[in-house]
Structure 1
Amino acid sequence: MATADQALAAYNGVYGPSGTSPYWPRDLTYEEYLGQETNLALYHLLTDGGSHYFHQANLHVYAPGRSLVFDWLETLLAKYAAYTDLPLLSPSWGEYGEYALKRYRHFEALRTGSSRVVIDPEGRRVRVEGKPLWVTGILAPGCEVYAGEKRCFLGRGEYGF
């Protein structure tokens, strides 16, 4: 698919009332199609950052300044901006892989109870026991800052805040 008409015809050919897996009571417009197709991506942006892929043909400029990818991105970013003004990050594949592994380890540690965090508010210290976790608001080497907040993936140790 390289044009809005082709993408819409393919979508309605599946989900329209006469489609192979009818879902909608009528064929959608292109704007409605973009709205539906960006819902999952918006969920990913606001939660886990899942990846999305496109066919090379989706980059075809079907009208001046218009392509399926940019129509999709403009719709998605308008939705995102309606919910938050946090900056979007675009990590390299290596950075994303490292993040995904840390995220997996964090949730696995929580699921299995193999980590514990003890907070000492008077001493302004946090002690991490067990497997590494994501911790926010800590003063430690290797922390990253996102939207003004510190976030660290920390293993066993004691840290100030």
Structure 2
Amino acid sequence: MLKIAMFTLAAAVTASVLAPTAHAAHSRIQFLAPSGNIGCQLGATPDGSGFAWCKADEHGWVTPQSDACPRANVPGAIGEPGGENLQLAEGQAPCFGFVMSQLFFDGQYAPPTLGYGEKRSVGSITCSVERAGVTCSDSKSGKYFQVSREAYKLG
């Protein structure tokens, strides 16, 4: 009986120690489109608001020069506005900015590839993978961006 009680206690302690770690792993979602050319990350700010940013590894469009992207539009954005990462945060307009993070790499830590028609969401932000590219949208504001190798659109 004592062995059963000790085992139950050990299992409960292990579960309580591992639970926060497992939950923390879901605070950031990374993925690649099937082509491997578009990578995205979704996450949540400390207040629970969702955000997303995506990057096309190779693209035929010219990145606009703009200072319209707030420095803190997406957590992890650093330096000056501008850059090749399309960003969207809950309640804010989509924009281009710089995010210091890596998406395009091989090995066991590479982001998973989502299939066409698959979606991922954090808060009110949802990113959908389609043959035409990736669309990330904010269901609260209606704001979005679309990105592919050939084009991008901010709306």
Normalised to the residue count of structure 2, the TM-score between the two structures is 0.30
- Choose between structure 1 and 2: higher strand proportion: 2
Higher Cα radius of gyration:
1
- Choose between structure 1 and 2: higher helix proportion: 1
